């Protein structure tokens, strides 16, 4: 996709703030990210409210603008609640269609003053005497969330993350730049803020949004690798002049182009409400996951022993690639879904 002038301006503004940001310093913070940076991004650029109507404190743009933002977020692996809060939670609230809840929650979320996240139960969630009972794993930003949004088969529920009956257990993660947690609900008081099963729509949104991050990470991994092989000298010549590495870089580039096409095609279809949006979302998840894994593997291989040192970023991108593969359904699960729909 050819970016518009507005998209390029947004990309450049976000890249200017995120470039050179000390990712490892943010990892060590109690929240796993830098709240000051998140506040600045929300208040100066409005990243959490890009696709939120102005009436609720947002910028009134579309998910295509969020796609640009997520791509830059993925390039730098910046820790923060952009995916979980700035996209999935805000869009879940809007999709639920409860204007009172949107007016009450979205302005503070868009301003970066409150953090909301989706606690997506693995098994059917039950409601007992006004409380929710269930468990959600791989929940983004759960440790820093103020609000949990729980999608069930009969609607979306709002839960105070600090309420009795809510337990948040951090998960041991491969990728330290993205913390995950298990959320257990044991009779937690909940407020229903929308009817209907939003989970299929949210699954597709999550796949499309994640593909933007993966596309950005793959792009940066390819660039860094291409730069390195022009500088690294072996046997009196840059290793990038070796034909075998040129072939491998060419294959990596083709993977990146295919992933970029898949991600943007899915995003455009999703925003347009196309009939094949769900199929394209699954394809984007598969293409971008496989491309990121392959390109980051080449990044590590071509950087040699340097790549596995803590000081170098290569291993961070590889870790992100393999952890992302497990989020919102594995490539195999989405291929099975595609097969069922197409065959």
CATH number of the domain to which 148 belongs: 2.40.110.10
Confidence of residue 229 (pLDDT cuts 50, 70, 90): confident
Domain that holds residue 24: 5-110
**Do 259 and 300 sit in the same domain of this protein?**
yes
**Do 185 and 220 sit in the same domain of this protein?**
no
- Residue 130: the pLDDT is 65
- Residue 22: the pLDDT is 74
- 117: its two tokens: 């996240």
- 42: its two tokens: 């929300």
Instruction: Return the DSSP state at 140.
Output: E
- Residue 20: the pLDDT is 74
| Rounded mean pLDDT, 36-47 | 91
Cα radius of gyration (the chain) = 20
| Rounded mean pLDDT, 85-114 | 96
DSSP H or E run through 88:
none
**Do 159 and 252 sit in the same domain of this protein?**
no
**Do 176 and 226 sit in the same domain of this protein?**
no
- Read off the pLDDT of residues 142-180 as tens digits, 9 standing for 90 and up: 999 999 999 988 889 999 999 999 999 999 999 989 999
**Do 86 and 131 sit in the same domain of this protein?**
no
**Do 162 and 122 sit in the same domain of this protein?**
yes
Q: How many domains does the chain have?
A: 3
Residue 37's CATH number: 1.10.540.10
Rounded CA-CA distance 79/178 in Å is: 6
| Rounded mean pLDDT, 186-194 | 90
The last residue of one of the domains, among 173, 195, 217, is 195
- Quick check: 82 and 46 in contact, CB under 8 A? no
Residue 293's CATH number: 1.20.140.10
- Residue 127: the pLDDT is 66
**Do 182 and 283 sit in the same domain of this protein?**
no
| Rounded mean pLDDT, 241-261 | 92
- Residue 32: the pLDDT is 85
Instruction: Return the DSSP state at 31.
Output: T
> Quick one: CA torsion of 39, 107, 181, 167, rounded to 10 degrees?
120
- Residue 79: the pLDDT is 92
Q: What's the angle, vertex CA 292, arms to CA 208 and CA 110, rounded to 5?
A: 40
**Do 143 and 101 sit in the same domain of this protein?**
no
Q: What global pTM score does this model have?
A: 0.94
- Read off the pLDDT of residues 102-118 as tens digits, 9 standing for 90 and up: 999 999 999 999 999 99
**Do 244 and 323 sit in the same domain of this protein?**
yes
| Rounded mean pLDDT, 235-255 | 89
**Do 123 and 167 sit in the same domain of this protein?**
yes
List all residues 6 or more positions away from 172 whose beta carbon is below 8 Å from its beta carbon. none
**Do 159 and 204 sit in the same domain of this protein?**
no
* Bridge partners (DSSP) listed for residue 148: 117, 159
User: What is the overall mean pLDDT for the chain?
Assistant: 91
The last residue of one of the domains, among 169, 195, 221, is 195
Residue 263: count of CB within 10 angstroms of its CB: 33
- Quick check: 85 and 117 in contact, CB under 8 A? yes
| Rounded mean pLDDT, 222-248 | 87
| Rounded mean pLDDT, 252-269 | 96
Spell 194-230 as b/e; 16+ CB within 10 A means b.
beeebbebbbbbbbbbbbbbbbbbbbbbbebbeebbe
* Bridge partners (DSSP) listed for residue 147: 116, 160
**Do 183 and 212 sit in the same domain of this protein?**
no
Confidence of residue 128 (pLDDT cuts 50, 70, 90): low
* Bridge partners (DSSP) listed for residue 131: 128, 189
- Residue 305: the pLDDT is 82
- 303: its two tokens: 């950087």
- Residue 341: the pLDDT is 79
Rounded CA-CA distance 9/211 in Å is: 21
């Amino acid at each position: 996709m050819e970016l518009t002038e507005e998209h390029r301006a947004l990309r450049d503004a976000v890249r200017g703030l995120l470039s050179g940001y000390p990712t490892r310093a943010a990892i060590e913070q109690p929240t796993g990210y830098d709240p000051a940076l998140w506040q600045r991004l929300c208040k100066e650029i409005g990243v959490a409210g890009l696709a939120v109507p102005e009436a609720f404190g947002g910028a009134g743009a579309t998910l295509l603008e969020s796609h640009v933002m997520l791509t830059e977020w993925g390039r730098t692996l910046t820790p923060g609640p952009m995916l979980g809060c700035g996209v999935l939670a805000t869009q879940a609230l809007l999709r639920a269609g409860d204007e009172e809840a949107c007016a009450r929650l979205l302005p503070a979320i868009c301003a970066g003053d409150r953090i909301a996240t989706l606690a997506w139960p693995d098994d059917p969630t039950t409601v007992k005497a006004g409380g929710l009972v269930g468990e959600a794993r791989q929940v983004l930003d759960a440790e820093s969330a103020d609000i949990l949004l729980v999608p069930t088969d009969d609607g979306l529920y709002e839960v105070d993350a600090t309420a009795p009956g809510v337990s948040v257990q951090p998960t041991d993660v491969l990728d330290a730049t993205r913390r995950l947690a298990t959320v257990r609900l044991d009779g937690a008081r909940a407020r229903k803020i929308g009817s209907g099963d939003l989970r299929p729509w949210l699954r597709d949104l999550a796949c499309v949004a994640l593909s933007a991050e993966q596309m950005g990470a793959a792009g940066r991994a390819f660039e860094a690798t291409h730069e390195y092989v022009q500088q690294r000298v072996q046997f009196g010549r840059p290793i990038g002049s070796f034909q075998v590495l040129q072939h491998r870089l060419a294959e990596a580039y083709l993977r990146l182009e295919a992933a970029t096409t898949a991600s943007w095609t899915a995003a455009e279809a999703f925003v347009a409400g196309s009939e094949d949006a769900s199929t394209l979302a699954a394809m984007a998840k598969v293409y971008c996951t496989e491309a990121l894994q392959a390109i980051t593997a080449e990044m590590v291989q071509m950087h040699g022993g340097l790549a596995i040192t803590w000081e170098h970023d290569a291993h961070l991108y590889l870790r992100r690639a393999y952890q992302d593969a497990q989020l919102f359904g594995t490539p195999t699960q989405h291929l099975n879904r595609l097969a069922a729909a197409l065959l």
